[in-house]
Amino acid sequence: MSPTTYHRGRSGFRRRKRLTTALSVVSAFLTLAVLTVAQPSADASAQAAALPYQDASLAVDERVDDLLARMTLDDKIGQMTQADKDSIVPQSDVNTYRLGSVLSGGDGTVSPNTAQTWADTYDGLQRQALATPLAIPMIYGIDAVHGANAVRGATIFPHNIGLGATRDPALVERIGRAVAEEVSGTGVDWTFAPCLCVARNDRWGRTYESFGETPELVSSMATVVDGFQGADGPGSAPASVLATAKHYIGDGGTTNGTDQGDTRLTEAELRSVHLPPFKAAVDRGVGSVMLSYSSWNGVKVHGHKFLVTDLLKGELGFDGFVVSDWAAVDQLDGQTGFTAAEVTKAVNAGVDMVMVPYDYKKFIGLLRGEVNAGRVPMSRIDDANRRILTQKFRLGLFEKPLTDRAYTSTVGSAEHRALARQAVRQSQVLLKNEGGVLPLAKSAKLFVAGKSADDIGNMSGGWTMSWQGRSGDITPGTTVLEGIRETATDPSRVTYERYGNGIDGSYTAAVAVVGETPYAEGKGDRPGAMGLDQEDLQTLARLKASGVPVVVVLVSGRPLDIAAQLPDWKALIAAWLPGTEGGGVSDVLFGDHRPTGKLPMTWMRGASQQPINQGDGKDALFPYGHGLTYGTGTDPTPTPTPTPTPTPTPGTGLCTATTKVTGSWSGGYQADVTVRNTGTAPLAGWAASWDLGTRTVTNVWNGTPTTSGGRVTVRNTPWNGTVPAGGTVTFGYTANGSADGLPVPACAGTTGG
Ligand code: GLC
């Protein structure tokens, strides 16, 4: 492709004629201009800051303006093109087609799979980009969703569902920082994380990528964006990598939890449940947003201009760039492959970069044709480039385009593994502990069984070494069994047999580590039964038959349908997908860390209850927020002490609560309740309560609801902080029932902690 080719084909002929005349005038001007500004040369990067866009002392906007003015249409279209590393053949196509971005999808890898090989591969591709006339560095994206999880030997952290159970946004930010260091050490500058999906139906195969089922819990974990990027946006911390808020919008709300399905909600419901986490990420300066494959009321998000341009970029003020999902543009017309019309629809809707990811030449040709035909305005192309280049400048890619090898040694470091182990500890949710069977004595004679007791692959789940993940010894780490043996005073008293064969009544307890094998995306959808598989059930039956107390550790990406088996278990811990540091599970089993995890998802009593969520009035086996702990026990790693929520006596008059209906639909409504501190001292806690009458509250955000006796009380969340005298805080809720004649909530606050 020649970068100077501006127009081609019959329709371009007239335009070319006009263009020739115009060019003769322009060239006179340029001749004068060129005398003062050196033109970019093939080794432009070699000219230290010769041109304004290469001058790091200038404001980013100035650098973008200067660079845009120098770019041809093909330069600009190249920036909007993201190609899969393994499909770029020859690698010099990065240069030839001016590719602005490269990615490795879930199955992308290098050989040998080491951090060094990744860094060398990245640098090779980057050098191709730097050899283009304007030397615009490419940006490399990867799904580092729970560590640098494509890299063998990297630290694999718990998946988001476990991090949601920690209720510890500060911990999650620290994890983002550690992941940024390991990712940077491989050269990669951009992670397709965090998923800020609000998983509303546990049948969804991506439930484990969600921090939880409520917008406020998911929003609270947007701190990970600061961990990835730095607290002041991309490039504001060493080893900063661009974060991606995904998948905008409503991916976790599809009917029946069908991956890439249709989210049928009113705009008010969509805004109240699925939008807040993206606002939280935008407010933290997230550099990119990835769109969702799913649809909203039958319309594909990837072609939805209101959602992408008006709501995300306009109303929320998102100034980063929007990237499509993998070959998602191809889905717009329901046919295989992609067309000019689909490209135009997506780009005009607000997609700034297209994850093609294979046929990048076709994409470039189609988009060029659409621009030349006037169906994609140049203003849209320039806006997309401005957004992309702004993030590249902010990241410092123009100054440091190659791998910072100082971080390569952090991959899988002891420090990061210790942090991951802490996260595993805090993510364990103790759901049952009959007779105080836990914590186990370290001197106990234990029988360990289950397919996931000694299996790093099962513990890590999908997006680990490959897209779908797999069972087995896939990367270095500590299995739950190894953690138990390391902690036991006499490891020889710990027997392991996967299927439970050989157990007898001589054991103190049996520990069964069971649950799900790895999956990702739609392959993990469970439209039917959601119980344990036959192997697990048979193993548990053998353990039960021995009469030994059974402790179950459930390694799964979601709540499972286990109500029928629960009576046979003395204890149950939800371990989620803990990753490589299984020692964190044994820390809880033996009481070195008292369990502090709280359910991020309501736990069904049966699969037929799906979707089942907080406040929907269904009779759950374990409610959202449930989690037991031990009465005593050493806790050398203090867990975060949640701010005590005072239990004010209603009517003490330190605050007022005013309800404002913000949306209504047949049979339901949404409202904001503003709590105002009418006292003279800051309020450390508050509670607003009112009689429900015939109504049922279906969802609450930025508040913690409890319902009893036909009355709902919404208290402050730990992260609400204090309300100054005269100040206000607002929580929201949706409810079934009429919005007419709503009672004025009673309000009570306390000034004490
Ligand atoms: C996918 C996923 C998305 C991921 C992308 C690149 O299909 O939906 O989460 O970031 O491909 O791997």
| Amino acid at residue number 370 | E
What is the DSSP pairing of strand 655-665 with strand 668-677? antiparallel
Q: What is the CA(324)–ligand 1 centre distance, in A? A: 9
Which residue's alpha carbon is at the smallest distance from atom 6 of ligand 1? 105
Helix%, strand%, coil% for the chain, nearest 5: 35, 20, 45
The topology under which CATH files domain 22-409 is TIM Barrel (3.20.20)
Residues 6 or more apart in contact with residue 695 via CB below 8 angstroms = 735, 736, 737, 738
Query: What CATH superfamily classification does 428-609 receive?
Result: Glycoside hydrolase family 3 C-terminal domain (3.40.50.1700)
């040998």: which residue's tokens?
112
* CA pair distance 730, 711, nearest whole angstrom: 19
Residues with CB under 6 A from ligand 1: 105-106, 143, 192, 246, 325-326
Q: What is the CA(291)–ligand 1 centre distance, in A? A: 10
325 catalytic per annotation? yes
Query: What pLDDT is recorded for position 48?
Result: 52
Which residue's alpha carbon is at the smallest distance from atom 3 of ligand 1? 325
Question: What is the DSSP secondary-structure string of 244-260?
Answer: EEEEETTGGG-GGG-TT
Q: Which of 521, 561, 587, 592 is the catalytic position?
A: 521
521 catalytic per annotation? yes
Closest CA to 450 of 397, 393, 502, 498: 498
| Residues 684 and 753: beta-carbon distance below 8 Å | yes
Is-cis flag, bond preceding 518, omega within 30?
Answer: no
Burial 21-48 (b: 16+ CB within 10 A, else e): eeeeeeeeeeeeeeeeeeebeeebbeee
| Residues 205 and 524: beta-carbon distance below 8 Å | yes
Domain boundaries, the chain: 22-409, 428-609, 655-751
Q: Which of 75, 262, 325, 536 is the catalytic position?
A: 325
| Residues 309 and 380: beta-carbon distance below 8 Å | no
Query: Which CATH number is 655-751 given?
Result: 2.60.40.290
Q: How far is CA 219 from the centre of its chain?
A: 11
* Per-10-residue mean pLDDT, the chain, length 753: 31 37 46 40 52 97 98 98 98 98 97 98 98 98 98 98 98 98 98 98 98 98 98 96 98 98 97 98 98 98 98 98 98 96 98 98 98 98 99 98 97 98 98 96 98 98 98 98 98 98 98 98 98 98 98 98 98 98 98 97 98 95 96 45 48 78 77 88 89 84 82 80 82 86 89 63
Q: Best substitution site from 143, 160, 331 to test ligand 1's pocket, by max atoms within 8 Å of Cβ?
A: 143
Residues 6 or more apart in contact with residue 30 via CB below 8 angstroms = none
Closest CA to 148 of 408, 339, 367: 408
Q: What is the CA(524)–ligand 1 centre distance, in A? A: 14
Q: Report which secondary-structure segment, H or E, holds 300.
A: strand 299-300
Q: What is the CA(168)–ligand 1 centre distance, in A? A: 26
């998946």: which residue's tokens?
159
Q: How far is CA 517 from the centre of its chain?
A: 21
